[in-house]
Amino acid sequence: MAKQRLLISIRGREEALIAFKSGADIIDVEYPASALGTPYPLNIKAIKDSLPKSVPIATNIGEEQRERRSTACQAVLGVALAGADIIKAGMAGYNYDEAKYLGGNIVRTVKTWFPNKKVIPAVFADKKFVKVFNPVVDGPRLGRSIKADGVLIDTFDKKVKSNQLLKLLSLEKIKEFVKRCHSYGIEAWIAGSVRIEDMPSLWGTGVDVICVRGAACENSSSRMATVAKEKVKALVNSIPRSLK
C-alpha cells in the first residue's frame, strides 16, 4: 500500500514551519474561516519559499464556484503560478453534470501550463449537498471523468460542531469511497472536523490523505487558533507505523 499522508492546513509561514518540522507530509495554505478559505497568492509564494522544495504545497480556490466559472479557471492558474503543487477546487452545490463541466475545465487549465501539478476536486458530505451529488459514488466517478488526480470529501459548514465527517458518513461508506477511487486509479482524500481520536479508524479505511486544521490547533475547537507542534506530532504518530 502507498504511503498515507497527513495534510495540515496553515495560515502563514510560522504555522507552516511548525507543521513541517512536526512531520506533516503536505502543507496546505488557506484562510481557515471556512472549509476551503482562500489565501492570497503572495502568502502561498512566501510559504513555498520558506520550505524545502521537496515539501508539497497545497491550497484551494474556495468551496463554491457559482458566480463565474471562468474566474475559477483563472483562480486555479493563479495559485499554481504562485507555487501551489496541489490545488483543491470546491464543487459545493453542483450536480454531477455541472461539476463535470467545470471540473474538466479546471483540470485542463492547470495541466496545460503545469502538467505535473495535482488537481483535487472537493465534494461535500453535508446533507443539503448530498441531495444533488452523492460524494461516495459521484465523487470518484467525477474524478475519473475529468482526469483529476484525486477527490476530496469534506464538510462544508464548519460552524456546526455536529457537522463532522464521521457523523455524516460511516466508516463503511468512507471505505467504499476509497475503493471506488482506487479502482479508477485516483487518490482518496478526506476532511471534515476530524478529531485526533478519529485518526486510527480513518487511516484504516485505506484513505490516501487526511486533511486537518482544527485538531492541529492549540484550541482544537477553533479553526482560527494557532497550529501547535504537539498536536501535529500526535496526528503524525496516528499514522500506522508500517505506512510512515
- Tens of pLDDT, residue by residue over 196-222, are 999 999 999 999 999 999 999 998 767
**Which fold would CATH assign to domain 5-238?**
TIM Barrel (3.20.20)
The residue-averaged pLDDT of 124-137 equals: 96
pLDDT of residue 1: 58
For 10-32, write each residue's pLDDT tens digit.
Answer: 999 999 999 999 999 999 999 99
The residue-averaged pLDDT of 43-69 equals: 94
Percent of the chain surpassing pLDDT 70: 98
Instruction: Categorize the per-residue pLDDT at 242 as very low, low, confident or very high, splitting at 50, 70 and 90.
Output: low
Does position 162 have pLDDT exceeding 80, yes or no? Answer: no
Across the chain, mean pLDDT equals 94
The residue-averaged pLDDT of 81-100 equals: 97
pLDDT of residue 109: 98
Cell numbers found for residue 223: 479553526
Query: How many Å apart are CA 152 and CA 210, to the nearest integer?
Result: 9
